[in-house]
Structure 1
């Protein structure tokens, strides 16, 4: 159905993104394509969609795929109909209805007399019943834009669909509709996503890495099990190689010491035998050559094992290196930190929530805040942090130390270098080398220390934010995470999950990622219902 052969893609700055890549998609395949940020997943989708041309290689396509992109900014000046590629057909349809059945209009419509009806049906499926097809995309939210392109699947009725992070901006209702579509559709699919619930709905995982694409014949949970087996095998290889290195060094030492004893013994015998000086020098040179040869043989063996060991260590997972190391929170678990009674807020004389909110939050709890787009999650967070005062009801907040981490990690200052950002959080008077040790632990080697924060990826900003939290002298009493997994790849989500699971204070999470919420042990939910 679609084949990509020996493909290479080179960025305009001549950096090679991937080389010699092979990919085959057959009819009815449902494939999840995963890999670290920057590995080339979105580029592959754009090549398959025909939006990019590979620098080398061949693309063979029997069908034209329908493409749901991750970023929609390029469509902001387009109408909904233009973004979906149906503006000309709709215009021809309306022209014909008004009596202008020209040859051009009939050719453009191509007997698709149900185009308007299908548009209405498709938009209704995604909760966009009231949307005007002539409306500009720039006036819509990220979730609405995503739903428009998802609605395009039913409008165009393609044989194959390419989806790039389709759940990124969707609320719970939108995600449920997307999950239902993926579970029931007969379309051939290639999906790029970090949404683990979404990935589990597909029957094969393709992992994109430096070596190419590795195929795992099962869903995401199956892939994780296989990776665990690989990781355990890798760990055993590492231990065996370390053992082999120690043994090789011991043998090297013993062999050299034994040879040196033999040389010394031989020298004494030669001296007793009264051999001429020239003979003594010849024997001495032979002994030195023999010792040097033994040293060379063992050094080569040690170097070979050391090289293999270094490679294994480079391939080891980095998640275990990153430990938060927080001191205990100032408050014991169960200490009441926030009490709210019948609170609500108004915008333009309109109450935000249908029912006023009453709750208590205590130290050590893990709470998820959920609600549809526009339900007031940001307002809720600001009231919790004391940044907004409710316009009805009352809220009592204990004097606590809180950190609010939004999905853009805006606490990171773009005008700082990585080291300067870390240093700005140094409330414990750590020395320079101690800060750099912490940065290294979070994968910021010396090549990163002078790098501007503005150039960091989403995953790098997240890791730097976590690193900064470890540099402070005291763990925050409250951490608020706002859609923390939205812009992260799976590896960085695992890093975030491991870090959050070390934290012992009050954790408030705004997220639609059920898989993530389950992994961090959220047991309580606050649901916000608009009026």
Structure 2
């Protein structure tokens, strides 16, 4: 069936997908036969594991991608806020927002060039400049100009520029792909407020639990298609927990059935062997001719083989059903995260800083000098707006930078710094080689491969280059590498660790961190994640 993108004639549906299938250029099918209806003023969360195709599905809804088959429709042109901005780096802010020509036409008209082309480009939108000013002020984009290259902006500023585009374009339908990823706390507050108050029809891809709880419907994209849950993310999580509990009970019941089937098979075969042996003795005692004994033996063998086949078929059937059920279990239930404890006793002072500051140019980085102390076993959240010096502070804590004023005392401790790109992973190595790099305890090859399997890296992954892994896979490999090491680090620093993860992998990371008993410093704007890992103290930079 040929792909089509059409305008919906339905009375209430703003967006719809009917029988949509998408395949990559190499013909690998990403998802198939997807059906979805989004009604006016619906606020929908689109969730799913990394690789499920959420961004692709959003691209189809936006009209930016064509499905391989099926139809996609919209009552009006959706406005799209992307997750990645690399394709816009050669453009100005106005060009990226798609308003450059309109603004140029307005200036031409105001200068007296009242041409048909300029009037057509302007399309009676005489308030475009005022809306731009209001939108930029609302999204705290002071100092950003429409003529500025997008490449000069930070990730958070780029996100805010596209969010400002909602006020500028005034669409009915808005599609958001991970909109909170690069935003600091004030930016997230503005985003959450927009989602609460807007009358727009929304479809949002996000792993931000705070944001997801502001949406009234959750749609889960999986191999089974799109499953709709009528409630926010907390409601969805409750329903999934019930489903997983039922699934776990089904797995246990099927495991019991498999054990019983194997036991019945073994007992039946033993009983048959005894009967065959008894029959053979009777035949020999009766002095039956050899040809008759052979006929009885052949008949017994056929009967045994038939019985063995029946039992084997039953065992195989149950085993296949069990394998299918196990494949439905969440990844967190399949893996075992087992950190060794830090070698340092709880309460040991790791870093003590008095009146420290750092200077870029002539200006001190922080308005007031900092005093702080980090002791072993603490969990500290480092908070501050974008540009407040969080990365500089981390480098000072690690001893990579010395303050230009004040003093720091550092104890001897082992630390690991984990950033949002998981640069701890060496992209030039294979998956197995990466784990081997952390093998300080001289584990055997099979022991490392057992640990890789535990973190869902099966045989087909071992020789894969790390460069080909997704963000979630790199995070799991990083956790596996730390588990391979003989001794856990005394200090783990997490710098926006959830930015490129789906909800499943955020859960895996959270579980691992909650098993860790060393010292933890976390830079994150994800309030839910900070609550889940029980950050007990805040270090706030102004």
What residue number does 2:8 align with?
A: none
What residue number does 1:425 align with?
A: 438
What residue number does 1:67 align with?
A: 80
What residue number does 2:67 align with?
A: 54
Q: How do 1:427-446 residues align onto structure 2 when only pairs under 5 Å count? A: 427-446=440-459
Query: In the TM superposition, what whole-angstrom CA distance separates every residue of 1:215-244 from its partner, at most 9, and x where no partner exists?
Result: 111111111111111111111111101111
What residue number does 2:194 align with?
A: 181
- Match for 1:507 among 498, 520, 523? 520
Question: Structure 1 residue 349: deviation in Å?
Answer: 1.2
What residue number does 2:403 align with?
A: 390
8 Å CA contact retained: 1:336, 1:363: yes
Query: In the TM superposition, what whole-angstrom CA distance separates every residue of 1:356-376 from its partner, at most 9, and x where no partner exists?
Result: 111111111100101111110
What residue number does 1:210 align with?
A: 223
What residue number does 1:283 align with?
A: 296
What residue number does 2:265 align with?
A: 252
Secondary structure of 2:20's counterpart equals strand
What residue number does 1:154 align with?
A: 167
What residue number does 1:110 align with?
A: 123
- Match for 2:502 among 448, 467, 489? 489
Secondary structure of 2:179's counterpart equals coil
Instruction: State the TM-score, normalized to the length of structure 1.
Output: 0.97
The answer to whether the aligner puts 1:127 opposite 2:172 as a matched pair is no
Secondary structure of 1:4's counterpart equals strand
CA–CA separation in structure 1 for the residues paired with 2:278 and 2:450: 50
The answer to whether the aligner puts 1:460 opposite 2:456 as a matched pair is no
Question: Structure 1 residue 281: deviation in Å?
Answer: 2.8
Question: Structure 1 residue 499: deviation in Å?
Answer: 0.5
CA–CA separation in structure 2 for the residues paired with 1:179 and 1:107: 36
CA–CA separation in structure 1 for the residues paired with 2:111 and 2:262: 90
**Cα gap change, 1:266/1:324 in structure 2, threshold over 3 Å: closer, same or farther?**
closer
**Cα gap change, 1:204/1:480 in structure 2, threshold over 3 Å: closer, same or farther?**
same
Query: In the TM superposition, what whole-angstrom CA distance separates every residue of 1:315-338 from its partner, at most 9, and x where no partner exists?
Result: 222214444433322222112111
8 Å CA contact retained: 2:180, 2:208: yes
- Match for 1:357 among 347, 352, 370? 370
In structure 1, runs of 5+ residues without a counterpart are: none
Query: In the TM superposition, what whole-angstrom CA distance separates every residue of 1:71-103 from its partner, at most 9, and x where no partner exists?
Result: 111111211111111112111222222222222
What residue number does 2:391 align with?
A: 378
Secondary structure of 2:515's counterpart equals coil
Query: May I ask how many residue pairs the two structures share in their alignment?
Result: 529
What residue number does 1:15 align with?
A: 28
CA–CA separation in structure 2 for the residues paired with 1:270 and 1:465: 68
8 Å CA contact retained: 1:79, 1:136: yes
Secondary structure of 1:501's counterpart equals helix
The answer to whether the aligner puts 1:408 opposite 2:431 as a matched pair is no
What residue number does 1:96 align with?
A: 109
Query: In the TM superposition, what whole-angstrom CA distance separates every residue of 1:153-188 from its partner, at most 9, and x where no partner exists?
Result: 111111110000111111100000000000111111
CA–CA separation in structure 1 for the residues paired with 2:329 and 2:191: 35
In structure 2, runs of 5+ residues without a counterpart are: 1-13
8 Å CA contact retained: 2:340, 2:483: no
Question: Structure 1 residue 267: deviation in Å?
Answer: 3.4
Question: Structure 1 residue 270: deviation in Å?
Answer: 3.6
Bigger Cα displacement from structure 2, 148-157 vs 105-114:
105-114
CA–CA separation in structure 2 for the residues paired with 1:257 and 1:407: 59
8 Å CA contact retained: 1:322, 1:499: no
Secondary structure of 1:339's counterpart equals strand
Query: In the TM superposition, what whole-angstrom CA distance separates every residue of 1:293-325 from its partner, at most 9, and x where no partner exists?
Result: 221111111111111112222222221444443
CA–CA separation in structure 2 for the residues paired with 1:269 and 1:475: 69
CA–CA separation in structure 1 for the residues paired with 2:68 and 2:175: 21
8 Å CA contact retained: 1:343, 1:394: yes
Secondary structure of 1:343's counterpart equals strand
8 Å CA contact retained: 1:337, 1:362: yes
CA–CA separation in structure 1 for the residues paired with 2:245 and 2:414: 40
CA–CA separation in structure 2 for the residues paired with 1:457 and 1:84: 29
CA–CA separation in structure 1 for the residues paired with 2:277 and 2:385: 85
What residue number does 1:327 align with?
A: 340
CA–CA separation in structure 2 for the residues paired with 1:225 and 1:186: 27
Bigger Cα displacement from structure 2, 271-280 vs 408-417:
271-280
CA–CA separation in structure 2 for the residues paired with 1:326 and 1:37: 25
The answer to whether the aligner puts 1:223 opposite 2:236 as a matched pair is yes
CA–CA separation in structure 2 for the residues paired with 1:522 and 1:242: 39
CA–CA separation in structure 2 for the residues paired with 1:323 and 1:390: 41
8 Å CA contact retained: 2:340, 2:516: no
Query: In the TM superposition, what whole-angstrom CA distance separates every residue of 1:260-300 from its partner, at most 9, and x where no partner exists?
Result: 33333333444444444333333322222222222111111
8 Å CA contact retained: 2:15, 2:39: yes
Bigger Cα displacement from structure 2, 319-328 vs 173-182:
319-328
Question: Structure 1 residue 208: deviation in Å?
Answer: 0.7
